Amino acid sequence: MRVDVPLAKAYLLLNHGPVTLVSSRAGLRTDVMAAAWATPLDFDPPKVTVVIDRSTLTRELVEASREFALNIPPRRLADATLGVGSVSGRQSDKWSEFGLAAMPASRIGAPLVAECIAWLECRLLDEQAVEQRHDLFVAEVVAASADDRVFSGGRWHFGDAPLRRRRAVLLRRRAGRRPPPRQGVRATGRCTCGWSRAISLPGTCAH
């Protein structure tokens, strides 16, 4: 189920560095594109940055509306994410071509990608010089939400149970195979000559 994410926690939706889908609208035109260069910038108020090439339809719509949404796709959208990042919205309706459904946002006019698992609704800040010089858009996050099956309590839950089991196995293996101290170094980490610094090479005092 889609649930609201507190704005103070919105950065957590991006902190694992996902590829995002940037959705936009200006008038009756909408577009969606893939963007890898999207990152949290600030906490209060929450801000994000995203790089949008000046040749794209998304860039045109974002500049006209001064808003966009960052959508976090799950693994099953890998092919669609590649697709919307490979063709131009001026030549194709990428929503229908790649089987994506639009759903309304709560605070902005740009649509959200319904098949995604997290959403950040963003309004641009007045940084037009940066936009023109670096293709870098700075925006305030005005609403955030996520699918609570994979994000809740301020963290992602991607396959938690298998990961916990794997971690437990690794910890047990480490506990049973602790390496012996190197020659010339006591278990305390002190050199056998009595100095507190460890040696630089096994069996060779560095003092």
CATH of residue 20 = 2.30.110.10
Q: Which domain holds residue 37?
A: 2-156
Count how many domains the chain has. Answer: 1
In a domain, 57, yes or no: yes
Q: CA torsion 9→13→17→18, rounded to 10°? A: -170
Residue whose token pair is 């860039």: 59
Would residue 161 count as lying in a domain? no
The pLDDT assigned to 175 comes to 78
pLDDT tens digits, one per residue of 50-74: 999 999 999 999 999 999 999 999 9
The gap between the terminal CA atoms of the chain, to the nearest Å, is 63
Tell me whether residue 55 is in a domain.
Answer: yes
Q: What is the dihedral of CA 56, 15, 67, 129, to 10 degrees?
A: -70
Coil, strand or helix: which one is 107? coil
- 166 within domain boundaries: no
Whether 177 maps to a domain, the answer reads no
Predicted local confidence at residue 200, as pLDDT: 34
Does pLDDT of 36 surpass 90? yes
- Residue 205 confidence class, pLDDT cut points 50, 70, 90: very low
